[in-house]
Homo-oligomer: A and B are copies of this chain.
Amino acid sequence: MTATIHDVARRAGVSISTVSRVLNGSSPVNDDKRALVLEAVKALDYAPNPAALSLLGKRTGGIGVLLPFVTGEFFSELLSGLDEAAQDAGRFLVVSTSHCRTEEFRRAARALDKRVDALIVAAPETESISAASILSTGVPVAFLNTRPDDALEADVFNFDNYGGVRDLTGHLQNEGHRRIAYVRGPAEAWDAQERVRGYRDAMDHADLEATEIDGGYSREAGHAAAAHLLAMSPRPTAVIGANDYCALGLMSALHQANVAVPGEISVCGFDGLPSTGYTVPALTTVHVPIREIGARAVRRVVSRINERADPEPYRHEVAPVTVVVRDSTTPADAEALT
């Protein structure tokens, strides 16, 4: 059995109140008694029972994280950023995944309620957000990569999905590409919608025809989409995958079909995952400061936790992204520009 405050008090020959006081510094204690208590604490290796603390309405020290899933580099990067910042703040993460649907989401939020001091939610699927607003869990909430909504009583941390793809498309155009295809992400995902929007606007702006292919956020989806790409005539000279995984699938399929990248077709992705620097060829993509965004969200909710009745308004931060040009794209061959 672990030691309780009573054990410490007995060993130090004082009352539990005194122990509590030296531990929390809530009011002055004589130096001699304080020393005794501290000694007893060390000897017994005492630590307050967190359950008792949270029963008293104190902090639990936990930060809840709700993710649609935890698979893949994007989320592992995110989790990494969250965890790092949480550690810095002396807090721990309570992670719960696979909440794509509203109902699951609600259940998870309820389960976490009372066990965490704040919630960080990554809910790209529009549907989840309404669920989120339902949760009146009382603790501060931050949303990540979520459609902003002024009605939402929470901070929102996004990155520039729209601008990223728009700039990426613009880069390809500058390189002489005219037939640029886009493999779409999941239709329900807000970030995917934003990205297509960026593509369309860039194509419109250059007076070029948009060519969209159904896809998804997985390597499998990208792989499958390649077939449609290959069947086109004339074939696009460049293709943008909805995210890096999609682009990786695209490259893999193209390689299998003996279509040279970037020789015959330029390929690019989105997210800037660490692995994209090591693919063959290295992938041109849009770098998103995922870890940094996660860390910001943590720092934000932590400050909200400590915030007294300070009605600081909710913020909506949009992190800038940067186009990273590598070897999977190349200027369009002049003669290919039929």
Chain A interface residues (CB < 8 Å from chain B) = 2, 47, 49-52, 54-55, 60-62, 69-73, 75-77, 79-80, 83-84, 87, 92-98, 108, 110-115, 138, 219, 223, 248-249, 251-252, 255, 274-275, 277-282
Establish whether residues B62 and A70, one from each chain, have CB atoms under 8 Å apart when the complex forms: no
Find the B residue at minimum CB distance from A251: B280
Find the B residue at minimum CB distance from A61: B111
Inter-chain CA distance A111–B249, complex, in Å, is: 41
**Shortest Cβ distance from A167 into chain B, in angstroms?**
26
Establish whether residues B71 and A76, one from each chain, have CB atoms under 8 Å apart when the complex forms: yes
Establish whether residues A97 and B83, one from each chain, have CB atoms under 8 Å apart when the complex forms: yes
**Known contacts A76-B70, A112-B92, A248-B275: does B49 contact A55 (CB below 8 Å)?**
yes
The contact of A51 among B77, B79, B114, B279, by CB within 8 Å, is B114
The contact of A97 among B62, B80, B115, by CB within 8 Å, is B80
Which B residues touch A280, using CB under 8 A?
A: 251-252, 255, 279-280
The contact of A223 among B47, B49, B70, B278, by CB within 8 Å, is B278
Which B residues touch A281, using CB under 8 A?
A: 255
**Known contacts A114-B2, A115-B50: does B83 contact A70 (CB below 8 Å)?**
yes
Copies assembled: 2
**Known contacts A49-B55, A55-B52, A252-B278: does B94 contact A93 (CB below 8 Å)?**
yes
**Known contacts A55-B55, A75-B76: does B84 contact A111 (CB below 8 Å)?**
no
Which B residues touch A75, using CB under 8 A?
A: 76
Inter-chain CA distance A60–B49, complex, in Å, is: 13
**Known contacts A80-B71, A255-B280: does B54 contact A94 (CB below 8 Å)?**
no
**Known contacts A248-B275, A252-B282: does B95 contact A95 (CB below 8 Å)?**
yes
**Shortest Cβ distance from A12 into chain B, in angstroms?**
21
Name 17 extra pairs, CB < 8 A, besides A87-B97, A92-B108, A279-B280.
Answer: A49-B55, A49-B114, A50-B115, A51-B51, A55-B55, A70-B79, A71-B80, A76-B76, A80-B97, A83-B96, A93-B94, A219-B277, A248-B275, A251-B278, A252-B278, A275-B275, A280-B280
Establish whether residues B61 and A55, one from each chain, have CB atoms under 8 Å apart when the complex forms: no
The contact of A94 among B52, B92, B278, by CB within 8 Å, is B92
Which B residues touch A138, using CB under 8 A?
A: 2
**Shortest Cβ distance from A87 into chain B, in angstroms?**
7
Inter-chain CA distance A2–B94, complex, in Å, is: 21
| Max count, chain B CB within 10 A of own CB: residue among A110, A138, A251, A274 | A274
Establish whether residues A275 and B70, one from each chain, have CB atoms under 8 Å apart when the complex forms: no
Can you sample 22 A-B contacts with CB below 8 Å? Answer: A47-B113, A49-B55, A50-B114, A51-B51, A51-B54, A51-B60, A51-B115, A69-B80, A70-B79, A70-B80, A72-B73, A73-B73, A73-B76, A75-B76, A76-B76, A83-B97, A87-B98, A219-B274, A219-B277, A248-B278, A252-B278, A252-B282
Establish whether residues B92 and A93, one from each chain, have CB atoms under 8 Å apart when the complex forms: no
**Shortest Cβ distance from A245 into chain B, in angstroms?**
8
**Shortest Cβ distance from A181 into chain B, in angstroms?**
19
